[in-house]
Structure 1
Amino acid sequence: MLAKEEIASSTENHTNCPFCTIFRDNQREFIIKDRETTALILSLEGHPLIVPKKHVRFEDIDPELASNLGQDIFKYTPRIIEIYQTEGLNILTNIGRAAGQDIEHFHIHLIPRIIGDNKVNLNGLVRISDRKRRDIMLKFQDPL
């Protein structure tokens, strides 16, 4: 179990990390669901991300956090498919620059998909407006 002090210390040391900034500054407008060691947040592109609260790289994830991340995937996926009214979902993480990772804080993308949407990678995603983000956030108000 992570102590709040451990999470706070971890995020304080990573001032350029957007996820640490969300947790450190308690930016609720991005946080869909808050758990002890992880959070479901809304990306700037409009799809949910599962993010450890502690700044951690993939190779440093411990078994407890790995278990929590896996549980989150199974917990949130059905609701995301329902909210976005999609036919499927990509569960994706980029590990290393060659794979497209640009934030070193591990996270998992949950990308709603429909047949023929032609999404092949994250580099082609377009950021959504603040209004659209708020509209999506409102849909998540029902319990997950």
Structure 2
Amino acid sequence: MSLTFDPQWLSRYPAQDSVANAESSCVFCGIVRGEVDAHVVAETADTVCFLDHLPATYGHVLVVPKQHYRDLSDIPEESFQHVMAAAKQVANSLQDSCGASGINLVHATGRAAHQTVFHFHIHVVPRYDGDSIVVFPRLADPARKDEVAQRLRTALNNPLPPMAEAESSQS
């Protein structure tokens, strides 16, 4: 069986605008509350796991925290750990039950990264030999590795205090 991937799949997702009360308009919060239909495959005290409504591959699952967090910068460490633990369990189950030969864990924060639902989530994408999905298309200039490595080392060794971080992201 040859699977193909439509690189325009994101255009089929309706983008959610951020609003003052994000939880009331959030489709994932609606799924968590049982108000929006979804194929829920697992649930813990802190997470819900359900099939993606436009799957990249057979068995594509989303793992979301039950509490609303906008993105990676918003989710507390403990909640992030709960989501990742659930994603690992789902990944293992996909390999056992669906014959996946590999797994991609995918997350997007922000519009530039193609985040379309502004409720933190992890995509657990089962991979199959020959599925033709290109996760990393190699678009960056490898000659700039020294520059980016230095920038990252500086940022990681001198993190901004929380208040300065918020101010710099608004500018």
With the length of structure 2 as denominator, give the TM-score of the two structures: 0.58
CA distance in 2, matches of 1:79, 1:99: 27
2:61 aligned with 1:48, yes or no? Answer: yes
CA-based RMSD: 1.9
CA distance in 2, matches of 1:45, 1:53: 21
Which structure 2 residues correspond to residues 102-141 of structure 1 after superposition, within 5 A? 102-120=116-134
For residue 32 of structure 2, what is the aligned residue in structure 1?
23
Gaps of 5+ in 1: 1-11, 122-144
Task: Report the count of equivalent residues.
Answer: 110
State the shift of 1:62 in Å.
1.1
After superposition, what is the alpha-carbon deviation per residue over 1:62-93, rounded to whole angstroms, capped at 9, x for unaligned?
A: 12112212211222211111222121111000
With the length of structure 1 as denominator, give the TM-score of the two structures: 0.68
Gaps of 5+ in 2: 1-20, 136-171
Q: Are residues 65 and 86 of structure 1, via their aligned partners in 2, closer, same or farther at CA, if it must alter by over 3 Å?
A: same
State the shift of 1:99 in Å.
0.9
Larger radius of gyration: 2
2:78 aligned with 1:64, yes or no? Answer: yes
* Runs of 4+ with deviation above 4 angstroms: 26-29
For residue 94 of structure 1, what is the aligned residue in structure 2?
108
